Structure 1
Amino acid sequence: MLNRTLVPDSMQVNDIKFIAPQQQQLDNGIKVYTINAGKQALVRIEFIFDNVNFDATKPLQAVAVNHLINNGTATLSAKDIADKVDYYGAFLQTEYGADQSSIKLYTLNKHLKSVLPILKSILDDSVFPQQEVDLFIQNQKQSLQVSLEKNDFLARKNFAHAIFGNSSYGSNISYADYDALQQQDLLTYYKAAYQPENCTLFVAGKFEQTEFELLNTVFGQQWNNKEVSIKNSFEFQASPKGDIFIERPDAIQSAIRMGALGIKRTHADFASFQVLNCLLGGYFGSRLMANIREDKGYTYGIGSAVVSMKDAGYFFIATEVGADVCGNTLTEIEKEIDRLKTDLVPDGELDLVRNYMLGSMLGSLENAFSHADKFKNIFFSGLDYGYYARYIETVKTIDANHLRELANQYLNTEDFVKVVVGKK
């Protein structure tokens, strides 16, 4: 009989297997990376486009085009597109990111022949009807008005602008930017960005030669428009350290966001720094959670993260706390960072973090879609699967002395941008 008073033995994850994609190419040169896996006749096809031609005076072009791209073509209205896609039980999803924008198609294989021409029309013949542009502007301005009342939104917005300035990573968007959107500007950006020479395809699911040939017929042989574009590229100096305080006299809670420019995925220390971040604030059992939530009761949640983008990396800590304990929270955050810089992490705590990180990695590889997502992470960083092997080895072998060295090298709070919105 099972003795439930005994704690089960825990074991470290020893091996994590990744499914590498098959690389092919359409007739017009578009590279296709396919994770052919799974038993169900379901496929996700993701068209990813680098963001291009950034203009600081028109910072919303990329996000507006991505949002509106499936809202009307020369022959199909937004309703027509939605009805046709729904009829086949498919799903279209657009997604805007700091470096790339995408449009994803989820469909059953048996309907691929019917759905691909709809997507082809969207990518080749969108017209951005003026009424859809006007509605987008109206809705987004209303959304911005609501968001500007939220302390955490203001903290995130001002933090990004402080370290990234007027780049696409940190544009300080205002109502005027929405009012300045013009249909012709959106069409110009659409033609420059959403073209075969700026496209990479990632496919996941049941995708055999028959499906590839169908994809090639629609997009490799019939999609050939070319426009001149320049991929976005930014350079950033060291963070302009200092405090940004936005007074909200009636605030019950204050939002805190602090951090600085840092390293990105291509840096040799990135995996090691991820372990350090996990200890500090990267999971529910982290030191920041244990101190500021569990012990002090100042917040429902606090966390830290290491973010890697194409042209920059950064580290941040974020939380919302009672306005009356905001100052105390800032003090406790610095105490936890100082502890990492002076004291060695106990073996038991480090083992817990190792198990969490390796378990999270293994748990994130649950299907063909997630394997494709893992590949995209390294593809857009110019890395290969050796990155994951080094990551796993680092998590398994990093020691307390190295973590202390990293804390002293990268967690210098005197160089942080610190944003507080509410009452300090």
Structure 2
Amino acid sequence: VNRSATEIAEAIDYVGGILSVGAATDLSFVNVLVMRDSFDFAADLLAEIARTPVFEPAEIERQRQQVLSGIQVSLDDPAYLAGVVFGRLVYGLHPYGMPHNGTPASVRSVTRDDLRAFHEVHYVPNNTLLAIVGDIEAEPAFAAAERVFGDWTPRELPVSPNAELPAPTRRVVVVDKPGSAQTAIRVGHLGLARDSSDYLPFDVALKILGGEGGNRIGSVLRTERSLTYAASAEVVSRRFGGDFMAMADTRSDATAEALRLMVDEVARMQRERVSRRELENAQAYLAGSFPLTIEAPNAIAAQVLESLLYGLDLADLPTYPNRINAVTVDEIQRVTRAYLQPRQLSVVLVGEASAFVDDLVGVGFDDVEILSIDEIGPFLTRDDQVVSVDSFSPLLPLVP
């Protein structure tokens, strides 16, 4: 008899292990972390969760209420609002443009039959990756995998939807949040898929623009102008595409100035060569922090599974620091000129609109859409904007 969520929680606690289960944009995962003498227990538990979940009605409702409560709280968070609207602007009709935790309507509509049908179609061995990392030799590890997964029958997977990513288009959306003392600013556009050969130099370039080891945007907005406590830029790269986003929070009356400076820095990054010192600082941070990402068994498992999921060469994993340090100033200039489009940025501003909207014209943004908080739901879920997700890749790392 398969165990309920409570029984599974009690079982993992009994052996002093850790169980984590979740879903992200490109994958879902089950992670089991146990001591060596509980390895067989972990293998059995992992297989039970992945292959034969109960989907207990009471547990579904409990999770549903937790998600709905979380969404309700998030709707008061400017950073969350800016993120979901930014995703919609950048990815358009693509599933990547939908909020990761769904919408109130979509969460309420999911039934137990929906979950069981989705599981039956997508949770199959030919759509699954397994990593076993720890103090265990290959032979018993493979034997355990064969024991718990050997009779799992492959099935034909559905064809992924042909949802093309839209070309970057300049668009400015203001989400009016009366009473806000600050404005959340998000600026960016489509980036690269994770398997792009230019991912590495583009990631380094964005570290110079707004990441650890560099951060031009932070230097200008915080150090030089005192407009924010923190400003940054990041790259998100997935299976079918990605984006880059620069972000900052500033006081309402400084919104237009901060936005202009952020856009100017993106343009400067695309227009001018970076200095050798900027590149070396970014390289030192990325190469120096890499050992921290492979310290623990579960971290190693995550790195290996990510490489497999995105079709990367596993042989490249241990050479990451060397490949980072091999990036040149010329490569940074090439990728920024190829992929940054400062004239086609999607811009989201969340704050008290009356405090800054009139200032936007003066800094070059005269075509602005204004949404109320109540209009965000329809903006995200209009029938002509929704694309269903028909492909899912569960990752199942097992870490003894």
Residue 147 (structure 2) aligned to one of 183, 207, 217: 217
Query: Equivalent residue of 1:408, what SS?
Result: helix
Give CA deviations for 1:152-171 in whole Å, capped at 9, x if unaligned. Answer: 10111011112223443122
Of 398-407 and 193-202, the range deviating more from structure 2: 398-407
The aligned length equals 349
**Could you say which structure has the higher helix fraction?**
2
In the alignment, what sits opposite 1:229?
157
C-alpha contact 1:264 1:312 (8 A) present in aligned 2: yes
Residue 85 (structure 2) aligned to one of 122, 146, 158: 158
C-alpha contact 1:263 1:313 (8 A) present in aligned 2: yes
C-alpha contact 1:337 1:407 (8 A) present in aligned 2: no
**Structural mapping, 1:25-424, within 5 Å:** 75-171=2-98, 173-208=102-137, 209-220=139-150, 223-230=151-158, 232-233=160-161, 234-283=163-212, 285-385=214-314, 387=316, 392=321, 395-423=324-352, 424=356
Shift of 1:376: 2.7
Q: Which runs of 5+ in 2 are unaligned?
A: 357-400
Shift of 1:278: 1.0
Query: Structure 2: which amino acid aligns with 1:217?
Result: R
Q: Distance in 1 between matches of 2:249 and 2:109?
A: 33
Taking a change above 3 Å as real, the CA distance of residues 422 and 119 of structure 1, as seen in their structure-2 partners, is same
Taking a change above 3 Å as real, the CA distance of residues 146 and 339 of structure 1, as seen in their structure-2 partners, is same
Query: Equivalent residue of 2:34, what SS?
Result: strand
Give CA deviations for 1:172-201 in whole Å, capped at 9, x if unaligned. Answer: 532111121111111111122222232211
C-alpha contact 2:194 2:241 (8 A) present in aligned 1: no
Shift of 1:369: 3.6
Query: Equivalent residue of 1:213, what SS?
Result: helix
Give CA deviations for 1:314-360 in whole Å, capped at 9, x if unaligned. Answer: 11112222112111111111232233344433333332222222212
Shift of 1:307: 1.7
Query: Structure 2: which amino acid aligns with 1:210?
Result: P
Give CA deviations for 1:194-251 in whole Å, capped at 9, x if unaligned. Answer: 222322111111122234323322222xx42455532645421213331111111211
By relative contact order (CA 8 Å, sep 6+), the higher-ranking structure is: 2
Give CA deviations for 1:279-328 in whole Å, capped at 9, x if unaligned. Answer: 10011641111111222222221111122111112111122221121111
Taking a change above 3 Å as real, the CA distance of residues 214 and 393 of structure 1, as seen in their structure-2 partners, is closer
Shift of 1:84: 1.3
> How well do the aligned residues superpose, as a CA RMSD in angstroms?
2.4
C-alpha contact 2:207 2:213 (8 A) present in aligned 1: no
4+ runs deviating over 4 angstroms: 225-228, 385-394
Q: Which runs of 5+ in 1 are unaligned?
A: 1-73
C-alpha contact 1:271 1:391 (8 A) present in aligned 2: no
Q: Distance in 2 between matches of 1:389 and 1:126?
A: 36
The share of aligned pairs that are identical, in percent, is 25
